[in-house]
Amino acid sequence: MGFHSFFRTLHNKHKAGKDLRLNKPQKQQQQQEDQRYQQQQQMPNLSSDAYNYPRPPFHQPRAVLAVYDFEALQFNECSFIKDDILIVSDTSNEWWQATNVRAKKEGLIPSNYVSSDLSQSIVLEAFFDVDRAEAEYKLLVPGVQFGTYILRPCMETNIPYSLSVRAKGVAVKHFRVYFDEAARQFYLSATMRFSSLEQMFTYYQSNTIDGEVGLMEPRSHRVVVPMDLGECEINYAYLTLEQELGRGNFGAVYKGRIGNMPVAVKKSLNENSDKAFLEEVKVMHILAHQRIVRFLGFCHSEPDRRILIVTEYMANGSLLDYLHKPEGRSLQYSHLISIIDQVVKAMVYLEKIKVVHRDLRAANVLVHEDRSVKVADFGLTLISGVDQINVADAFPVRWTAPEVLIHRLRPTTKSDVWSFGILMFEVLTYGQTPYEEYTCEQVRELIKKGDRLVSPCQYGHRCDVEVYNIMESCWNRQPEKRPTFRAISQKIEGNIRKREGVYCATWENNSEN
């Protein structure tokens, strides 16, 4: 989770390309005071009901850079100095709600004193509102080079930032960024101080920080995927396997570590499964989406040379198992719909790049420690135009579309749409097995006759009529008449907006990895 607590829904009325510096502040102190006084008269009272009305659909919270100093005069304002990073959470007025990352204080700021233009400063380009673990994941994905760095909030009270740097091999080094309030200087060590973060970054591009690591460039929000799979291979010596989490016919899943970073490791058990694992690697290394489990690389075990796939570790395990646990059973309806919304965002992405998952179900969705979810397990996945997997291979009957189940046609995105409707049923029934009273062979016959799952309401669970209508539309016998994932996503967003007054999601950016 990031440093900032998102306590309001967001609405950015400034369209793309519009300079946030509305007017350069007056140089004379009296003119500044007059201008600010006039603005403050129009400033809303944070405690009033008028300020807390439901917001329209929002954009993600964003980081901005201070281009001038600002000293708070009112209790609900937030002071900052030039080059401070602030995380804006409400842009519905000329005075924005924001958190000063350096000072760790929150309040209203004048919108014309800050800019979100990444080209203005390498500091803003380098900043990510992430914690240590997420920074490590971002710096260890394939395609990130030695010396790539992330500036992030530090959770320690008197330290404003942390600097995370990709080191040699599979390693990330972290450095505290200190700030001398009186001198207005930043430093990593007391012997070398800088008047700005940009000056500090420039210095360490030519000098090492600790005798080993220097800075090359900020971590891009969109990392270019290496074309050569060899660039995704991890030295097995860097990997430590800890406890086994599960085992199947073809592989075992372990919790492991690369240095201090927890990872999930899927290990092939024999030569026959090595080929399937390699195909999964080929799929996973091209995927980059916030709602898809992050691929970190692969390696070969020693001495047996089995393939191991390394991904980010999702502490709460599979969605199916989580929904069966007390913490999963306690989830409110709104959170269940949120889970469905997160999954459909991943599927919109896969649909766009013409990738067919082929095994979409709750058991193949993983739950993060913050209870967000990501789609995983691409062992059966098909890439459009590439012959990878024989359609006669085993597939999950209860989730499989009739054209594949009965007519043995090649799976398509429309087959995934069918499976998504079944997954919706799983989520809204807290992990109930679809058609649980029937055998797999009986399920085949039911589907062939046109029978479909009933609404979760029939089992005593909440399911709005329009939500069940979405599920039914996924189960149209004719694949071409099923909705696209984009259309499903829009309907789910509409349902959330209708029920809660606003659509609110922090995973909206579907291209960042």
Active site residues: 359
Cα gap 237→239, rounded to integer Å = 6
What number of CA atoms fall less than 13 Å from residue 354's CA on the CB side?
4
Provide the phi-psi class of 430: left if phi over 0, else alpha when psi is between -120 and 50, else beta.
left
Residue 393 sits at the vertex; the CA angle it makes with 273 and 311, to the nearest 5 degrees, is 45
Instruction: Name the DSSP class of 249.
Output: S
**Coil vs helix vs strand at 13:** coil
* Residue 243, number of CB atoms within 10 A of its CB: 7
Q: Would you state the structure tokens that stand for residue 107, as one six-digit string? A: 């309040």
CA dist 95 and 20 (Å) reads 12
Q: How many whole angstroms separate alpha carbon 234 and alpha carbon 79?
A: 46
Q: Enter the tokens of residue 24.
A: 């350069």
- Amino acid at residue number 4: H
Residue with tokens 């390699």: 278
DSSP class of residue 460 equals T
Partner residues linked to 247 by β-bridges:
252
Residues 6+ apart with CB under 8 A from 313: 255, 262, 263, 264
For 396, which DSSP code?
-
Residue 275 and residue 283: Cα distance in Å, rounded? 13
Geometric angle at alpha carbon 417, from 473 and 334, rounded to 5°: 75
- Give the span between the Cα atoms of 80 and 179, in whole angstroms: 14
Question: Strand pairing partners for 161?
Answer: 153, 177
The CA distance from 376 to 483, in Å, is 23
Residue 267, annotated as binding a ligand: yes
State the binding site for ATP.
Answer: 267
